[in-house]
Structure 1
Amino acid sequence: MRRRWTIGTLLLGLAVAALAVFNLFIAPGGTPPGGVQPSGVQSAGPQGTTTSAPAAAPPSAGEGTGGPNVSGLPAIRESQLPAEGRRTLALIRQGGPYPYSRDGVAFGNFERILPRKAGGYYKEYTVPTPGESDRGARRIVAGQAGDKYYTPDHYESFKFIAEGK
C-alpha cells in the first residue's frame, strides 16, 4: 500500500525540522554544534522569574567587582551611572530582592553586542527611569564571571561598567 502525502503532512514535517534546527543552532542554552559545552560553562536551566539569586561571583581580593574589560566596548565608571543604576548595581551585589519580577532573568544577547557566551550566561536587571510608568529602557546586564554592562536604550548600545571607580 502506497502512502499519500498531503500538504498538511509536509508542512508538519517542515515545522518539526525547523524546530530541530532552531534548538540545535540558535536557541540560547542549547548544546553548541559538536555536542560539547566549553569547559566551565553550564547549560541554562528553566528560565523562571526567581529574583533572589545573585548574578555573579564575588570579586577576588584586590580586584574591582567587574574584572577587566575584555569586551572591547566603551567603559562607564560606576560613579558615572545614574543614581538608579548605582542602586540597581548594589542590589545585584547583595543578591536582591529586586523590585521587578523580570529582574534576574536570562538575557539572550540576540543583538550580539556583548561578548558571545553560552545561553544563560547573562542576566538582566531594570534600572528604573524617573517619570516612566513601566520598566523603561535602561538595564544592567550581568555575566556569570562578574562582568556587567549598562544600556540606556534597551539593548541598542552597551557600556562596560568599571566597578569601584
Structure 2
Amino acid sequence: MGSSFGTTVGRALTLFVFAVGLTGCGAIYDAIVPPPPDDRQNVAFYFAQDEYEQGLVMRAARGGEPKVYAQQTPIIEGADIKMAVPMKDAAGYFFVGIQLNDSGSRKLAQATPQMVGKQLVLVVDDRLLGAALIDGPIDKGMFAMATSDRHAAFILSDLLSPKSK
C-alpha cells in the first residue's frame, strides 16, 4: 500500500510541476532564483503618458520640463538590460539599441500590446531622461531610444550597459 501511494503521489507531483512549468515558468524561475545585485538599480523604464490620471506619478527632466505621468512601478529596470549599443541609422541619426534579458523581454512582450500609443520613458535617479512612443508590441526583447547626437548615444549606452566586474 505504501509503495502504491508513494508512486501515485510522485506521479501527481510530477504532473503538477510539469503543468506549472508550462504556464509562467519564467515568473516562477525569477521568484526562486533572484537576479544578482546590479549597480544599475537607479535606472528604470516606465509606461507613461502626457495627461494625468489617478495613480500616475509625474516624472520630469532636470528643470521640470518636459514632464510625463508614469505608472508607479517600472516595467523594466537596469538589471533587465542585457546590453545597450550606440548606433546610427541610414539617415545619420544616432540612437541606442537596447537588448533585454529573458525576464525583461517577457515583461515587455506581455505588457506592450495594451500600451500602444503610450510612452516608454527612461528614468534615472528619479529624473526623466528620455521617452519613446510605443508604436507596436515590443516582443523581440529589443528596442531603441533616440539621442540628440553621437556623444549622447555613447553616454546613454554606457549608463544602460551592464558593468564588467
TM-score past 0.5 threshold: no
Normalising to structure 1: TM-score of the pair?
0.37
* Higher helix proportion: 2
* Higher strand proportion: 2
Normalising to structure 2: TM-score of the pair?
0.37
